[in-house]
Structure 1
Amino acid sequence: MIKFFNKKSKISWKITILYALMFIMLLFLINFAIYFFLSNFIDDNIKKNINNTSEFVISQINNQEENNGEYFNAEILQEISRSEENVFFRILSPEGEIRAQSRYLQEMQVPITAQITEFRSGNRRIAVRTINLADYSPATGYLQVVKDITFEKNFLDFLILVLIIAAAFGALISVFLGYFTTKKMLSPINKVTETAREISFNDIDRRLSVKGPDDELKKLALTFNSMLDRLEKAFKKQKQFVSDASHELRTPISVIKGYVDLLNRWGKEKPEVRDEAIEAIKKETENMKQLMENLLLLARGDDSELIKNEELFKFNSLIKEIIKEFKLLKDDVKIEFEEKAEIDFWGDKNLFKQLIRIFIDNSIKFTSKNEAIKLMIDKRKSEKCLVIIEDKGQGIPEADLPHVFDRFYQADKSRTRKKEGSGLGLAIAKEIVESYNGEVDVESSEGEGTKFTIVLPINN
């Protein structure tokens, strides 16, 4: 039994054995109840028959007139025995000598006992009751009422045998039926196991077939398929992310390698070549550093570990500070800021500074020097902060709109190839907004400009 319940045992065997044990216990209780009630019923009938017959014989004795001390002879006892099935009589003197008896009792040693007692005589099983006649009639001596109970006892013995055999067959049938039933019921789990074992990175699009009743196993299959959907989506994103990151890193590394080769050939002889190479390598190194920091920020966001140093700050003042910085860096930048509400916001000031910078920088890249970039901040009745960044730049083609927040995605490859950036800015912005349970939306028409709308719950 221990073998079936160790840690390595199959759950189907464990359920089968438990099912069989419970079924065997149930059979045992049913069989015990059957035998107990039948045995008591038969014993009660035997006792009742002996007692009733004893009363009948005593009444007959009391009705007889005295006849030289003899109350019954063998013929009379035999006649009563014929009227009572398997019941026989013996009359003893006060000294225990036989005065009269049924022929069935000849040569039989019958114990003298006041209580109904069972004993064996050869292959026969007998019940006897001995009555003192002086307690019930003027006569003296003893009356023994004897009943042959061989048939009843053999029936009970046969019943025990039948019940044991039936229990054994029932136990075997319960094991086989339990095993096949359990195996059938657990087959969906086996399919889940086999599918999980067979699925690899290259065929993660496989799914379990979901059929049958709406039970726990079907819910398990649906849950497993849902998990595979999430894994497939994550694997595809990871694969695309690695591919895009490799592509973005390939260019600066190639540039650095080219300038290193240039330095190796001409750097010692031409100072202007050396200075140009050093400046280019420095610039590309900074770009790679920024790219790595952006990748790290996105990775932390994916793992729900975006580090935040939160405080209460004035959102309006933060935007004004950012606009001032951009105007100091680029004199020709035109940014108009409309304040429709004063917003006090609880959050990471540096993250939101990076957020607004990303959208302004993105608008500057695709807006001509003569056009102004418009910012607006407002407060909705639902206690939400609304920030809008709008430009009149070249816009985004309709086919590219659903992908503008994807990592490394650049809407127009031919026009953005010369632009600065790695295609991670908008992805980072979306990550920051969603980390505060906010929403970001984009509206754009090619050649007419772009509008980004940020909605953030106010948590102050």
Structure 2
Amino acid sequence: MFIQRRYSLKWRLTFLFSSVMLVLLLFLTIFIFWSTSNLVYQHEQRLLNQKASAIASDLKTEITEESSLDMSYLSRLLMNYSDANQSIALLDQKGKRLASIEGANWSKEPDDFYDRILTAKESVEFPFASRIIYVEISETTEALEWYFTMLFSILLFASLITLALSGIGGYFLSKWGLRPLDQLITQIHSISPQRLSQRIHHYNVEKEIYELIHAFNLLMDRMEDTLVSQQRFVTDASHELRTPLTIIEGYVSLLQRWGKNKPEIREEALGALRQECDRLSRLIEDLLTLAKLQDESESNTQKNIQSLTPLLLEVKHAWLPVYPPQITLSFEWTEPLFLYMDRERMRQLLDILLDNARKYTDQGEVKVRAFSDESWVHVMIEDTGIGIPESELPHLFKRFYRVDKSRNRIRGGNGIGLAIAQSIIQDHQGIITISPASQGGTRVHVQLRKEPAPQQD
């Protein structure tokens, strides 16, 4: 399978930094060139206005009578002010050209990107006549082309040098800034499956790297706990499966040696084999149930808002005949008891809790109470049985955990029921706690989110 290789973070940061610098340099170059060229054009325009004023003043001094306003005389006067890139013209009030001169490089149309036509106009009033003559000077900025070309070349060269230096500097800065990350990667590679207890040190590092290392160490803690739990689960499951298999193997050997001719031995062996097969079936069924509950893909598929009351009635009728005469089973509940629940899972939960109460209560009472408050529906199962030491309470929901293994084996437990119950409660986003009861025995308290009653159509 082909996997596309991504660029390293250093190169990506360098590219990003260089791209940002390229955009900034582009805008900066355009701004400098535009502002400088405008300043130059404004300076040239001021010089042109000053020249037009000077020509108008000189003409007013040179021309002393109206007879001097002929074209040849005016043209000779304008020759004193000629410029290679300028056109100087004298116009009357109607715009008629009286006289004009043009420089050698004068062109009415700009030939280059940098070229412009600048115009200045000044009026001349003669004391001996009522007419007004206008001095109009037009100038092409072709002479500034070399200056603008040099300015553009300098800006381009400076931008390229700056871009290259920023790219090199960005790479080394990225490399220096990501050095703690490289060290972290090296330490992570050094962790092998046989050294999951190893943790990464996070002294004298930046805040972001510290948070990354802290998050990684927490992840390793969870992975180690999961692996230890899985190994313990495999060990406990193997032990639980090996015990009935050993018993079955022993009785099979007994049948092979003496059971063929002795009916009493054969009957005893077959009964024990049936008992151990039933025990294996229950264990395997509990394991499959626990695995199915932990598969999130099957969660919430059968949940809906419904009342717990019909289920309590069903459980009551199912368990009253099962309890022995020396144990009194009582139910008590107060409406409303609406939940967002999977009915089959909730029935399984109640069955597990009532079965545990029956197994560990020799005589007395098992009481089931259900009620609700503003936020929760509470289900409490309290018995007068043998009880559980407080030191064992934190471990009750672990798989295959039993307070007294020998006593538990006699009573038929395998240590998975409460783990299944906790998975059901977690799937319903509830809370389950176990504590000593006030009259001895054990109290199981289940809290489930209360829901409003659905509206009837």
Is TM more than 0.5 here? yes
Q: Report the secondary structure of 2:445's partner residue.
A: strand
Q: CA deviation at 1:447?
A: 11
Q: Report the secondary structure of 1:8's partner residue.
A: coil
- State the match for 1:302 in structure 2: 294
1:242 equivalent to 2:238? Answer: no
1:316–1:343: 8 Å Cα contact kept in structure 2? no
Q: CA deviation at 1:348?
A: 4.8
- State the match for 1:279 in structure 2: 271
- State the match for 1:384 in structure 2: 377
- State the match for 1:42 in structure 2: 40
Select the residue among 105, 111, 116 that pairs with 2:104: 111
Select the residue among 191, 209, 214 that pairs with 2:202: 209
Report the AA paired with residue 386 of structure 1.
Answer: V
1:323 equivalent to 2:316? Answer: no
Report the AA paired with residue 378 of structure 2.
Answer: C
Deviates more, 1:271-280 or 1:345-354: 345-354
Deviates more, 1:223-232 or 1:31-40: 223-232
- State the match for 2:97 in structure 1: none
- State the match for 2:10 in structure 1: 12
Q: Report the secondary structure of 2:415's partner residue.
A: coil
Q: CA deviation at 1:287?
A: 1.0
Report the AA paired with residue 26 of structure 1.
Answer: L
User: 1:237, 1:243 → 2: CA distance?
Assistant: 10
Q: CA deviation at 1:266?
A: 3.0
- State the match for 1:355 in structure 2: 349
User: 1:90, 1:210 → 2: CA distance?
Assistant: 78
User: 2:343, 2:366 → 1: CA distance?
Assistant: 21
Report the AA paired with residue 325 of structure 1.
Answer: P
1:323–1:335: 8 Å Cα contact kept in structure 2? no
Q: CA deviation at 1:366?
A: 3.4
Q: Report the secondary structure of 2:370's partner residue.
A: strand
User: 2:334, 2:47 → 1: CA distance?
Assistant: 107
1:208–1:225: 8 Å Cα contact kept in structure 2? no
Report the AA paired with residue 259 of structure 1.
Answer: Y
2:18–2:170: 8 Å Cα contact kept in structure 1? yes
Deviates more, 1:294-303 or 1:173-182: 173-182
User: 1:129, 1:418 → 2: CA distance?
Assistant: 112
**Residues 114 and 199 of structure 1: CA distance in aligned 2, closer, same or farther (over 3 Å):** closer
Q: CA deviation at 1:416?
A: 3.2
Question: Structure 2: which 5+ runs fail to align?
Answer: 89-101, 130-135
User: 1:118, 1:348 → 2: CA distance?
Assistant: 86
Q: CA deviation at 1:411?
A: 0.9
> Which digits, 9 at most, give the CA deviation of each residue in 1:30-87, with x for residues without a partner?
12322233234324434543553355246435534799x99999xx97xx99xxxx99
Report the AA paired with residue 321 of structure 2.
Answer: E
**Residues 7 and 144 of structure 1: CA distance in aligned 2, closer, same or farther (over 3 Å):** same
User: 2:137, 2:372 → 1: CA distance?
Assistant: 109
The 5 Å alignment of 1:162-241 reads 162-186=154-178, 197-205=189-197, 206-207=199-200, 209=202, 223-241=215-233
User: 1:90, 1:348 → 2: CA distance?
Assistant: 97
> Which digits, 9 at most, give the CA deviation of each residue in 1:185-240, with x for residues without a partner?
5556656655655544444443573876766x766555545544443333332222
> Which digits, 9 at most, give the CA deviation of each residue in 1:335-375, with x for residues without a partner?
2415253676665555444433433333343333xx31321
**Residues 8 and 429 of structure 1: CA distance in aligned 2, closer, same or farther (over 3 Å):** closer
> Which digits, 9 at most, give the CA deviation of each residue in 1:7-47, with x for residues without a partner?
63224323322321231232122123222332343244345
Report the AA paired with residue 209 of structure 1.
Answer: H
User: 2:231, 2:438 → 1: CA distance?
Assistant: 30
1:337 equivalent to 2:340? Answer: no
Tell me how many residue pairs correspond in the alignment. Answer: 411
2:117–2:138: 8 Å Cα contact kept in structure 1? yes
Q: Report the secondary structure of 2:313's partner residue.
A: helix
- State the match for 2:392 in structure 1: 400
Task: Name the % identity.
Answer: 27
Q: Report the secondary structure of 2:320's partner residue.
A: helix
1:192–1:224: 8 Å Cα contact kept in structure 2? no
**Residues 210 and 249 of structure 1: CA distance in aligned 2, closer, same or farther (over 3 Å):** farther
Report the AA paired with residue 317 of structure 1.
Answer: L
1:16–1:182: 8 Å Cα contact kept in structure 2? yes
Compute the TM-score of the two structures, normalised by the length of structure 2: 0.71
**Residues 21 and 449 of structure 1: CA distance in aligned 2, closer, same or farther (over 3 Å):** closer
Question: Structure 1: which 5+ runs fail to align?
Answer: 1-5, 92-108, 120-126
Compute the TM-score of the two structures, normalised by the length of structure 1: 0.70
Q: CA deviation at 1:410?
A: 0.8
**Residues 207 and 375 of structure 1: CA distance in aligned 2, closer, same or farther (over 3 Å):** farther
User: 1:146, 1:8 → 2: CA distance?
Assistant: 59
- State the match for 2:23 in structure 1: 25
1:338–1:375: 8 Å Cα contact kept in structure 2? yes
2:353–2:381: 8 Å Cα contact kept in structure 1? no
**Residues 357 and 343 of structure 1: CA distance in aligned 2, closer, same or farther (over 3 Å):** farther
> Which digits, 9 at most, give the CA deviation of each residue in 1:296-355, with x for residues without a partner?
11112222335758775524423432432323xx4x541241525367666555544443
Report the AA paired with residue 28 of structure 2.
Answer: I
